[in-house]
Structure 1
Amino acid sequence: MFQIFRDHWPNYLIEAWGLGTFMVSAGVFATLLYAENSPLSFPHPLLRDLVMGLGMGGTAIAIIYSPWGKRSGAHINPAVTLTFFHLNKIAAWDAFFYILFQFIGALAGVLLVAVALGSPFQEAPVNYVVTVPGQWGWPAALVAEFTISFVLMTMVLWVSNTPQIARLTGLFSGILVTLYVVFSAPISGFGMNPARTFGSALPAQTWTAFWIYYFAPPLAMLLAADLYQRITKMRSHSICSKLCPNGETPCISPICCSACDQVIRPWRQKEKVDAIS
């Protein structure tokens, strides 16, 4: 364990930084857009939600394609890490520290915004950007959280392991985040991430239907991974565990590196052909 930690601690810190950055962005955007007496006004609530979605989608894309995101794989979600662990793409201790630092990063990001913005962020309607069921209650929130998690992981596996479009995985992820903020947030608060939900719930002391956000995303993503393998007949060693497959940084697992190479090789061949022509 200690040797693994010494070798991979930068990746763990990147995961904390990634989710922490996402939470800072969420807190700032939510406060600017939704807090009482906000200087920003919109002619229609849907437009305000769209701006929030674009802000969060853009933040996700920036994290995934950043040099640090390319190194750790930009999981920034325990459900994503658990899924790749289930697919034997990340070792047990690496998965443990990824998840631990994701929780730390989420909480640190929320506390940082709380200190910087104070009551507008801490009080209703922003309330530490907690994730709670909307007006349709916990059944609708459960369905929403399961669905968006299932769709996200299905997309990640299909796109990241298709050489022609693998480099667009992060872009598609950001687009889904944008859509989820607009259409899922009113139903479930858009959690899809146990660490993200915990980071807001602890300082807010709001645990409404917390079990939904704790269990639904991992179960949905694990189901998506199993169905993907059954449908494609792809073995786990051929699957890349990064949300940004790239040849610039080594993967945390040598097995994953070989999978990334299979995905990346066609890009390099095409780039050589284009350069010659």
Structure 2
Amino acid sequence: MAKIALGDRDEAARPDCVRAVFAELICTFLFVFAGVGSAMAMEQMSVPAKSPAGLTVVALAHAFAVFAMISAGFNISGGHLNPAVTLGLAVGGHITLIRSLLYWIAQLLASVLACFLLNFLTGGLATPVHTLSSGMTYFQGVIMEIVLTFSLLFTVYATAVDPKKGSVGITAPLCVGLVVGANILAGGPFSGASMNPARSFGPALVTGIWKDHWVYWVGPLVGGGLAGFLYENIFIYETHTPLPDVEF
């Protein structure tokens, strides 16, 4: 069963929570700036982001940025960078719902700020938006995002959360970055391989293009939540330690 930790009403005012939310804002901002910026840079150089060369560069940029920003934020906020990651960890009781909500706000705000800044710095260059490729149905797009995000959260749990991870834990940021890059190479030409509602939200808000946008909420949140639930209950169920002083 899910181990949801509600938290208490005073949590948002605690110094550690404030620092963690601020870290999520900064790290997510820098991740989105690099990720979206890499796609914009490819277009500026007349290399379509979905061409082999463009896709490879964008995948590498996202992988590097995820690796760096998880490493930077890991000891402060956990370096989530992604509402789907936050939900997946909340399902396992590793973060309270109150803090999760604050993380979501910070992640979405960071994405919007990063995209607005990119738009300004590039002189209004078009911001690429996640949309489904021609011929891909909504059902196919949702399933694609579920699978991609499931693999992301499965990796997060296996390398960063599982108490039996041992020395593998030191490779967690790298492993997560690598799976993000691999998933973009695999799913980028089809669904865009978002795996991250915040990553999709910023460009959509800045451009006003909301076509297919709901797919990038439903798919990642279902995939992330499902991975968290299954890993927590199948692989580390008996070793789970609930968060202290919280309501369940």
Q: TM-score, normalised by structure 2?
A: 0.85
Report the equivalent of 1:259.
none
Distance 1:212 1:3 in 2: 32
Report the equivalent of 2:37.
28
Report the equivalent of 1:4.
12
1:229 to partner: Cα distance: 2.9
Contact 1:12 1:101 (8 Å CA) reproduced? yes
Distance 1:132 1:189 in 2: 7
Report the equivalent of 2:184.
181
Aligned-pair Cα RMSD in Å: 2.3
- Equivalent residue runs for 1:200-215 within 5 Å: 200-215=203-218
88 and 236 in structure 1: CA distance in 2 versus 1, 3 angstrom threshold = farther
Report the equivalent of 1:141.
141
Q: Highest relative contact order (Cα 8 Å, sep 6+), 1 or 2? A: 2
- How many positions carry a matched residue from both structures? 231
CA deviations 1:10-40 (Å, max 9, x no partner) are 11111111111111112321122123xx2x7
- Equivalent residue runs for 1:109-258 within 5 Å: 109-120=114-125, 122=126, 128-137=127-136, 138-160=138-160, 161=162, 162-235=165-238, 237-238=240-241
Percent identical among aligned pairs is 23
1:118 to partner: Cα distance: 2.2
- Structure with more helix by fraction: 1
Distance 1:136 1:235 in 2: 45
1:254 to partner: Cα distance: 5.8
Pick aligned residue for 1:63 from 62, 66, 69: 69
1:61 to partner: Cα distance: 0.6
CA deviations 1:214-243 (Å, max 9, x no partner) are 11111111111222133325247349xxxx
Identify which range, 209-218 or 222-231, moves more after superposition. 222-231
19 and 233 in structure 1: CA distance in 2 versus 1, 3 angstrom threshold = closer
Pick aligned residue for 1:108 from 81, 92, 113: 113
Distance 1:27 1:197 in 2: 10
CA deviations 1:232-269 (Å, max 9, x no partner) are 25247349xxxxxxxxxxxxx669xxxxxxxxxxxxxx
CA deviations 1:154-204 (Å, max 9, x no partner) are 111122221131111111111111112222111111211112211111111
Report the equivalent of 2:102.
97
1:84 partner amino acid: L
Q: Secondary structure at the match of 1:201?
A: helix
Report the equivalent of 1:248.
none
Distance 1:108 1:210 in 2: 18
Contact 1:157 1:228 (8 Å CA) reproduced? yes
Contact 1:89 1:236 (8 Å CA) reproduced? no
Contact 2:11 2:98 (8 Å CA) reproduced? no
Q: Secondary structure at the match of 1:132?
A: coil
1:58 to partner: Cα distance: 0.6
Distance 2:111 2:47 in 1: 28
Gaps of 5+ in 2: 1-8
Contact 2:84 2:197 (8 Å CA) reproduced? yes
Distance 1:54 1:143 in 2: 24
Computing the radius of gyration from Cα coordinates, the structure with the larger value is 1
Report the equivalent of 2:79.
74
Distance 2:118 2:244 in 1: 37
1:157 partner amino acid: Y
